[in-house]
Structure 1
Amino acid sequence: MAPVVLSPRDLAGCEHRVALDFSHDRRPGTEPDPPGVQRRKEAAADHRAAVRELLRAVHSDQPGAFVIVDPGMTSADRVAATLRACDSGASWIWNATLPTDETHGRRGHAELLVRRGDGYIPVIVVNHRVTQPAKTAPDPAGRPPTLVTSPFWTWAPSPDPYRTGRPNRRDNLRLAQLTAMLVEMGRASSADRSELRGGVIGVDADCIVVHDTGAMLDDYQQVLDHRLAIAAGRVETGPRRISECRSCPWWVKCGPELEARHDVSLVATGNQGAVLIDAGITTIDQLAAQRGAPPEGWPGAVRFGDAVIGAIAWLTGTELVRRLDSPRVHRADIEIDVDMESYGEHGAYLWGTLRTDTTDESVPVVYRPFVTWDPLPTRDEARSFAEFWGWLMAERAAAHDAGQTFAAYCYSQQAENRWLLGSADRFAGEPGIPSRAEVEAFIGSPEWVDIYEAVGENFICPHGKGLKRVAPVAGFAWRDEDASGEASMEWYRAAVALGGGRADEGQRTRLLEYNEDDVRATKVLREWISDGAAEQAPHERDLLARQPAE
């Protein structure tokens, strides 16, 4: 029997997935990755390629310093090429593949090995943010910052007072595994565990975040041992619904199993589910029958009654449950629905708006997009954002001047706020760009209304609070059956020809229609909350009256 060997991917996420991966000859189905998964892989590959070319250019005047291992070679040939580069003393080795360590059950590759002393430091390149700007100025008392970074083009770690880290356990475990493998090979930068380091280059590619990998090794070893036991079948696991299930190929097996036994994780995830299972409440039926106080350790920010009602709703097929006799949402004379479309971390290319004058039904409800079709990232994004902001503020001022109330609406303001503030920061000083203070004043005012929050205040949502989950209850339907945030990423790539070739005008139209439907869905939903929900959605007391006896 071949030895069990784990990649860093096997160390994080669902334990049951690891058990299934190693107990079956192949994963279910032969279909390609879902579009969203494929897009993320392509975006990550594009990001790594951009980082590679930046570093190659930086070191182009140093022959032999920056070595690229050909990814098209076999694994064995990549290992051999990596070891030759190490033996030759190359300063930077891109696409390094380490020899599989069957004794300890691990394999790994690093986007970079950076020479330090007689050995190497692993550096990985990821397509997510690993830092954010520090919220406070450098400490006047002289206390050192908690984050250490190195310039992008060299290895020179120093405390960084201008950034804070965004920890990622998957990144940490990957760095720890690479460090342990280098130590075992005798290729690490130091024999002293306290001096072992690793690095991460994030999506901004503006620095290398330095990690103390020596301090990670004990925790890593515990994780590795446990996961090896799972993969070998020595530790039993079972399915449980978590966020990872959305893109897991094993969901075709786990989903029906969970449905068949009414598993409680279908309605209570995360800490809620863990507490319920620890208390012996493992099925939806058991949760629906609960009375009195929540089990010990129940998350304080979540009402236990909501979980019970959610379980009853699941059993009865109820889509939405009212909390209040008369649901309420902030309304105004001039109402503007807003929806933003972004492409990963690269920028916001479209701000869609829908203007409604509630004082005069004869005024047309008009959709107006503010868009750039220059491939992101692009400075033209500043132009489209400035036009959107200027129009929105002009509508607000006109309403005020006419003695009318004004409100702008979005669905889940976290995304819109991020790009409102980010655009103000990135394009500061360009024509029409507001200051950060102006944006903060607006999004902190009562005139910026989050309908996602209004839904949570008014309803219990057993199937989730996403717009595409809730708006259909209010009677809205999207024109495109494939409409989703993930799908829109694929449409965008074609719309601006990110993969090469000619831009697809049809996909541009599709994106505009998708965005228009999102703002119209927000409008329909908020109007339904104030005008129709009281009659059409059952109250929570109605469901509790159906609560099964213990």
Structure 2
Amino acid sequence: MSSRVEDERPPALPPVTIDAGSLTRCRHRLYLDTAYGSLLRGVKEDAGVVQRREAAAAHREVIRDEMAGLGAVIVPADTSRNARIEATLAACRSGASIVWGAVFAEDDVDGRRGRCDMLMADPAGGYAPVLVVNHKVTDPGAGALTSPLGAWDPRPDATRKVRSQLRDQLALVHAHRLLAVVGLAGASDLGGVIGFGADCMLVHDLAAVAGEYDERFGDRLAVAQGRALTVPSRVGECRSCRWWTDCSAQLEAAHDVSLVAPGGRADALRAAGIRTVDELAQWTGGVPENWPHGDFAEAVVLARAWLTKVPLVRKRAEVTVTRADVEVDVDMESYQEHGAYMWGTLLDRRDGTVPEYRAFLTWEPVPTLDEARSFAEFWGWLMGRRADAHDAGQTFAAYCYSRSAEDKWLLDSARRFDGMPGVPTEAEIREFIDGPEWVDMYIAVSENFVCPSGKGLKKVAPVAGFTWRDSEAGGEASMGWYREAVGYDGDSDHSQRTRLLEYNEDDVQATRALRVWMAERAVEDIPTADDLRGPAA
């Protein structure tokens, strides 16, 4: 009898292990992926996630080929996992100076699994883990520790400062721990990251984040093993998560407070006993302890707006926005970190004539020197319209929406193409963007309104009555259109070029429409916070 019962027991489940990506992933998503991942078969992955992964893979292929030329041992990617594990160990034990595509055996004792883009022999002994990522890891400055690509030789760098990425650092510690299990961890406790541009390796001191790693690893392993309870809570990651449909339904049914105060703000509110949007809307107890950032009073208004389904709330009686005799709306289009391929403009002379759209662009795949031409033409045209206005005794303003991207590519383009015909100096760019004639409409919206659904242009402009011609218009979608437009994956598709131009024109038209509406009708259309106070109380 006992023998038969034992034979009927289900086979033992394999130990639960987690990879480095789990350390920065939403805790509830990790639980769902581990327990119910099979339910996602056939669920379409977010297009932006796919594009970023494909771009990162393409970047790694370029670096792999460069490392192969430097004598790296390449672990074949088209073999079984066990074969790659054995090949990794064999390469390291043979004394290879560079090992590409390392794969480690699962550490069933501590619960780790993973791989590493590259291992580099540390002269002090063992191997240093190296990641290859498709984002920038340094900025101009000083204080970084870097190493050349071909050999592990970390030294202080007087030309670069660290652009910190906790995700990269935690992943390096994870790989270092897996190396330690097989006795191959570098003696210096350092790890490297090759970022976009790939002109050096940024070197991190792994001891600096070891404590953070241990805390996160213990927590995430407990989640994956079902020893720690998780519940849905809205965070930034939700926008691209395939579980969001299920989670959002639960959150909305519960009026969960994270719907209006996501991330760490929701944690602080729950610690204060505020768990629902309704409770936040009626809160009179002052700012909760450990409130992380942002105006708490605005969070209360957001809760009231969410309950009453109001798209915007005025912060004050009057709505103010900068206007000028001559106005130019600007919207830049870039492809990842490769370059800015389009500078779209909308000129409104405020004289009753129809505003004029004009784009300055290159269809050569970025990065390309042809960017210098289109950028110089854009800058010359913009400064020409500014000078014309000043000569006529008129005021001038140029507008963008959320200036960080435009500022970045204005400055980067000036640096990259310094000295080329028509390209302004970095000082000229700074003089303009630091002055009063460069106006960020995102800031204007933030100063005038509380925005329950977000402050993005696609969220706010429809309140002003503007609609985009393309229902799929958006930054992530445009990345795919661009690849087809310039032929990254085959022949160029000119219909996608038209699509990008229309999308860019709609963006500048939306910025202008929002500004006109703010100046003329917003006071009548949008209630104030005081208007909402009575019904919500």
Q: TM-score range by the shorter chain?
A: over 0.9
**8 Å Cα contact 1:27-1:250 kept in structure 2:** no
Structure 2 residue 26 is matched with structure 1 residue 18: no
Shift of 1:218: 4.1
In structure 2, relative to structure 1, the CA distance for the partners of 1:270 and 1:200 (3 Å cut) is same
In the other structure, the counterpart of 1:448 is 438
Structure 2 residue 455 is matched with structure 1 residue 465: yes
Tell me the distance in 2 between the aligned counterparts of 1:183 and 1:282: 43
In the other structure, the counterpart of 1:512 is 501
Shift of 1:235: 1.0
- Residue identity in the other structure for 2:128: I
Matches of residues 209-220 of structure 1 in structure 2 within 5 Å?
209-220=202-213
Provide the secondary structure at the position in 2 that maps to 1:26: helix
Tell me the distance in 2 between the aligned counterparts of 1:527 and 1:132: 38
Shift of 1:302: 2.6
Candidates 18, 31, 36, aligned match of 2:43: 31
In structure 2, relative to structure 1, the CA distance for the partners of 1:543 and 1:29 (3 Å cut) is farther
Tell me the distance in 2 between the aligned counterparts of 1:502 and 1:261: 50
- Residue identity in the other structure for 2:410: L
Matches of residues 345-360 of structure 1 in structure 2 within 5 Å?
345-358=337-350, 360=351
Tell me the distance in 2 between the aligned counterparts of 1:264 and 1:189: 46
- Residue identity in the other structure for 1:225: G
Tell me the distance in 2 between the aligned counterparts of 1:388 and 1:350: 9
Shift of 1:87: 2.5
Shift of 1:225: 2.2
In the other structure, the counterpart of 2:115 is 109
Structure 2 residue 323 is matched with structure 1 residue 331: yes
Candidates 203, 216, 229, aligned match of 1:223: 216
Tell me the distance in 1 between the aligned counterparts of 2:303 and 2:356: 41
In the other structure, the counterpart of 2:139 is 132
- Per-residue CA deviation, residues 30-89 of structure 1 (Å, 9 max, x unaligned), is 1342211111011101111111222233x2xxxxx3111121111111112212212222
Provide the secondary structure at the position in 1 that maps to 2:384: helix
Structure 2 residue 263 is matched with structure 1 residue 274: no
Shift of 1:226: 2.0
Q: Which contiguous aligned blocks of 4+ residues in structure 1 show a shift greater than 6 angstroms?
A: none
Tell me the distance in 2 between the aligned counterparts of 1:390 and 1:408: 14
Provide the secondary structure at the position in 1 that maps to 2:536: coil
**8 Å Cα contact 1:16-1:237 kept in structure 2:** yes
Provide the secondary structure at the position in 1 that maps to 2:273: coil
Shift of 1:104: 1.6
Shift of 1:271: 3.4
Tell me the distance in 1 between the aligned counterparts of 2:194 and 2:74: 17
Structure 2 residue 420 is matched with structure 1 residue 427: no
**8 Å Cα contact 1:69-1:96 kept in structure 2:** yes
Task: After superposing the two structures, state which structure 1 stretch, 71-80 or 337-346, moved more.
Answer: 71-80
In the other structure, the counterpart of 1:528 is 517
In the other structure, the counterpart of 2:396 is 406
Candidates 145, 150, 174, aligned match of 2:147: 150
**8 Å Cα contact 1:354-1:368 kept in structure 2:** yes
Structure 2 residue 63 is matched with structure 1 residue 73: no
Tell me the distance in 1 between the aligned counterparts of 2:531 and 2:336: 42
Tell me the distance in 1 between the aligned counterparts of 2:211 and 2:395: 60
- Per-residue CA deviation, residues 245-277 of structure 1 (Å, 9 max, x unaligned), is 111111122111101000000001233222211
**Structure 1 unaligned regions, length at least 5:** 60-64, 139-144
> What's the TM-score once normalised by structure 1's chain length?
0.93
Corresponding residue pairs, total:
524
Provide the secondary structure at the position in 2 that maps to 1:407: strand
RMSD: 1.4
**8 Å Cα contact 1:67-1:92 kept in structure 2:** yes
- Residue identity in the other structure for 1:474: A
- Per-residue CA deviation, residues 514-544 of structure 1 (Å, 9 max, x unaligned), is 0000000000000000001011111221111
Provide the secondary structure at the position in 2 that maps to 1:36: helix
Provide the secondary structure at the position in 2 that maps to 1:545: helix
Shift of 1:27: 4.2
Task: After superposing the two structures, state which structure 1 stretch, 429-438 or 108-117, moved more.
Answer: 108-117
Candidates 49, 54, 69, aligned match of 1:42: 54
Structure 2 residue 99 is matched with structure 1 residue 93: yes
**Structure 2 unaligned regions, length at least 5:** 1-12
In the other structure, the counterpart of 2:9 is none
Provide the secondary structure at the position in 1 that maps to 2:535: coil
Tell me the distance in 1 between the aligned counterparts of 2:104 and 2:41: 31
- Residue identity in the other structure for 1:239: P
Candidates 188, 197, 202, aligned match of 2:190: 197
- Per-residue CA deviation, residues 400-421 of structure 1 (Å, 9 max, x unaligned), is 1111111100001111111111
Tell me the distance in 1 between the aligned counterparts of 2:148 and 2:468: 47
In the other structure, the counterpart of 1:176 is 173
Shift of 1:220: 2.3
- Residue identity in the other structure for 1:71: A
Task: After superposing the two structures, state which structure 1 stretch, 431-440 or 321-330, moved more.
Answer: 321-330
- Per-residue CA deviation, residues 213-245 of structure 1 (Å, 9 max, x unaligned), is 245444423322222211111111111000011
Tell me the distance in 1 between the aligned counterparts of 2:459 and 2:37: 36
- Residue identity in the other structure for 1:497: G
In structure 2, relative to structure 1, the CA distance for the partners of 1:504 and 1:121 (3 Å cut) is same
In the other structure, the counterpart of 1:394 is 384
Provide the secondary structure at the position in 2 that maps to 1:51: helix
- Residue identity in the other structure for 2:67: L
Tell me the distance in 2 between the aligned counterparts of 1:170 and 1:303: 28
